[in-house]
Amino acid sequence: MRREGVNALVHLAFHQRPHPDPAVAHELESVGTMHVIGALARATGVGSSLQHLLVVSTALLYGPHPRSPAIVTESEQLHGCPGYAFIEEKVDAEHKIEAARDRLPIPITVLRPSLTLSPGDDGLAAAYFGGRLLPTLWGYDPLVQLVHAEDVVDACRVALDRKPSGAYNIAGTAPLPLGTLIRLAGKVELPLLACVAPVATDVLWHLGLCAFPGEHVPYLRYSIVVDGERAARDLGFKPRRSTIETLEHFFGRRLPLAA
């Protein structure tokens, strides 16, 4: 970084979908973030051009919990989802980033987008809504907040320009119930009883018929809707597409709600 005169580092080395081997997630995200921080510590200092670290995380780290606020702000603790490596390794990476704030003499910006979706991507939301049978939890219909990948890129551009220090939710607008989104998309819902859902989704995942393993089931039960006011105030950022518009662009057609 010193040799090339790098002035900003964007840390994107995180899995966008659960990996079948938890050790791989640990090496990439937790251990990898530790190496990123070490490299930054060596690259900063007198004569360095490095001015900024931008980390793109996810709002899923707030965790699916019954006592979470209806609208989650950046001050909320990262509860994560115990036992779910896809989430817990990212939580650990964020804790390492937070601990490095006092050691790195540069601004550190963390962006926490809600579920990201766009045509052609292979992330968690794309894998879920692109499936044929979409597992849900019987008796639960959590709100889903989608943000377009292009809006996340715009947020990154603004953050790199302004170099704020702190965490910012990149929130999709107008969240809708999961069941509503499934019906609008013309997909088939697969409601599962809570007592069998973890095992059933785990089997479907290993067969390649589901976007996530059984540890993801709590996210089918409880909503995570994040507040985007801080990003609007400090970064002047507002997404261009709503949740339904993001889903429409993913499928390439108008959906009944907006028709």
In the chain, which ranges are continuous DSSP H helix? 22-25, 32-43, 85-99, 124-129, 149-162, 178-184, 197-206, 229-235, 243-251
Against a cut of 0.85, is the pTM above it? yes
Is position 3 within any domain? no
Is position 1 within any domain? no
Predicted confidence at residue 82, as pLDDT, reads 95
Predicted confidence at residue 94, as pLDDT, reads 97
Is position 76 within any domain? yes
CA separation for the pair 194, 204 (Å, rounded): 15
C-alpha gyration radius of the chain? 19
Q: How many residues does the chain have?
A: 259
Instruction: Tell me the backbone φ, ψ of residue 154, rounded to 5 degrees.
Output: -60, -40
Predicted confidence at residue 102, as pLDDT, reads 86
Which of 185, 184, 154 shows the shortest CA–CA distance to 170?
A: 154
Which of 244, 218, 207, 224 shows the shortest CA–CA distance to 133?
A: 207
Predicted confidence at residue 45, as pLDDT, reads 78
Residue-range definition of the domain harbouring residue 173: 8-254
Distances (CA, A) of 119 to 40, 150, 188: 34, 10, 20
Is position 119 within any domain? yes
Is position 2 within any domain? no
Question: Can you list the residues of the chain whose pLDDT is less than 50?
Answer: 258-259
Show the tokens assigned to 68. 């979470």
Is position 54 within any domain? yes
Predicted confidence at residue 141, as pLDDT, reads 97
**Which CATH number is 172's domain given?**
3.40.50.720
